[in-house]
A and B are shown apart, each in its own frame.
Chain A
């Protein structure tokens, strides 16, 4: 570290997947000084993906959600405490109990929270982000309601609907766009996923917006009114309309928080300050795009990267963070996987399937390049295309490779 003292205290704001991954990597890299994690939730880090799947289905106890955390890591956990302010120049965090915490390095990992609708707040209306949210929703599902309405047809909404069907509960998804997952995966894959949901008994109300929630005399939701005037009777509603990054506490810090925390290509938001996970927006030079990635695997990889970045000499050139993002989703026992970048694609092409049992591989083109791949099943083939994404393969080369040769590159 040329002419620069190594960091002595590294603070981590946000005690979930990205924050824990950063802390673990700091220790794995031999950082022997103080690590302080400030986390708003009162409990140790736990895993969110099961909240819409195994846990909601009752296949997994809430206490099995805990993320494995090595006991000998010597981390100071400040749980149940929120960061309320950041002084970038002085390198201090302010906490909600008034404490001022000085740091040499900081990882911002405060994630995201569910987007709210302008109406709602009635009993029986839920969001799903935390363990507590999941416990409350599960308690309502355990009563075997006559119907659940899920507002929002993205990954989490689709998974909740699938879980309701597994529990033999009638469910309606209301989605203003023309199909499920359409923004992420485009119309053809959306149609396929929609058909799977319909076959499994999910009612889809696409192209229409939830407009209002109607209450019964006791203040509990009794129906959702759609923009076309129809009402769907229900006493359990889940609002799954995306997330907003948790940046309020950074207002006035001088950081660019227009959509998450804007970082450079090495995940630095300011000298000594990195961001990771759902909250971080950075230019991923592999895909020529600057966006946030709200997926489990990225929270781990970016959390680790951020830790290494803080330990590197600030003036040194560091390899930029250029992951091939990965997300999986589990609906009706089918594993949907997406590698790379599928949003804003110029073309979508099925190269395999869909088969009768819904398996397929679809490629996404942006400009002259392969930008993403989505599929159900066919994991070997997906992994082959993932390697092509890593290698920056052209669209022509990717599409002229049959799925067999895509597998071949896996060797």
Chain B
């Protein structure tokens, strides 16, 4: 499972951080940080929550 971010769409609002703090964070310049780009399968539910929480639909799950 791989997390792919559409950086053109992402506006760094942090909604995904609320949904899945184990996978995402925001730096001091309001840029998204992906903490784990290839998370293990047990994080899928959290990742799907983050995908749904993203108002810009900038998060894509590959695999």
Chain A positions within 8 Å of B, measured between CB atoms, are 21, 47, 49, 68, 296-297, 300, 326, 328, 330, 335, 337, 377-380, 382-383, 386, 407, 410
Across the interface, do B13 and A337 meet the contact criterion of CB distance under 8 Å? Answer: yes
Q: Is the CB of A380 within 8 A of B55?
A: no
Whether a CB of chain A sits under 8 angstroms from the CB of B40 is: no
Measuring CB to CB, which residues of chain B are less than 8 angstroms from any residue of chain A?
11-15, 17-18, 25-28, 30, 52-53, 55, 57
Taken together as a complex, chains A and B put the C-alpha atoms of A386 and B18 apart, in Å, by 9
CB-CB under 8 A for A335 and B11, given A296-B55, A300-B52: yes
B17 A383 Cβ-Cβ under 8 A: yes
Select which of A21, A296, A379 is within 8 A of B14 by beta carbon. A379
Main secondary structure of the interface of B (DSSP, over half): loop
> Are B26 and A68 in touch, CB under 8 angstroms?
no
Q: In the complex, are the beta carbons of B30 and A49 less than 8 A apart?
A: no
B45: nearest chain-A partner, CB-CB: A28
Cβ contacts A to B, 11 pairs, < 8 Å: A296-B55, A300-B53, A326-B18, A330-B11, A335-B11, A377-B30, A379-B14, A379-B30, A383-B14, A383-B17, A407-B28
Besides the known contacts A49-B55, A300-B53, A383-B14, 19 further A-B residue pairs in the complex with CB atoms under 8 A apart: A296-B55, A297-B53, A297-B55, A326-B15, A326-B18, A328-B15, A337-B13, A337-B14, A378-B30, A379-B12, A379-B26, A380-B26, A380-B27, A380-B30, A382-B14, A383-B17, A383-B18, A386-B18, A410-B25
A25's nearest neighbour on chain B, judged by CB, is B52
User: How far apart are A27's CB and chain B's nearest CB, in angstroms?
Assistant: 12
Residue of B at shortest CB range from A386?
B18
Shortest C-beta distance, B61 to chain A (Å), equals: 12
Q: Are A328 and B28 in contact, with the CB atoms below 8 A?
A: no
* Residues in A neighbouring B12, C-beta threshold 8 A: 335, 379
Measured between alpha carbons, how far is A378 from B14 in the docked complex, in Å? 10
Name the A residues within 8 Å of B57 (CB-CB): 68
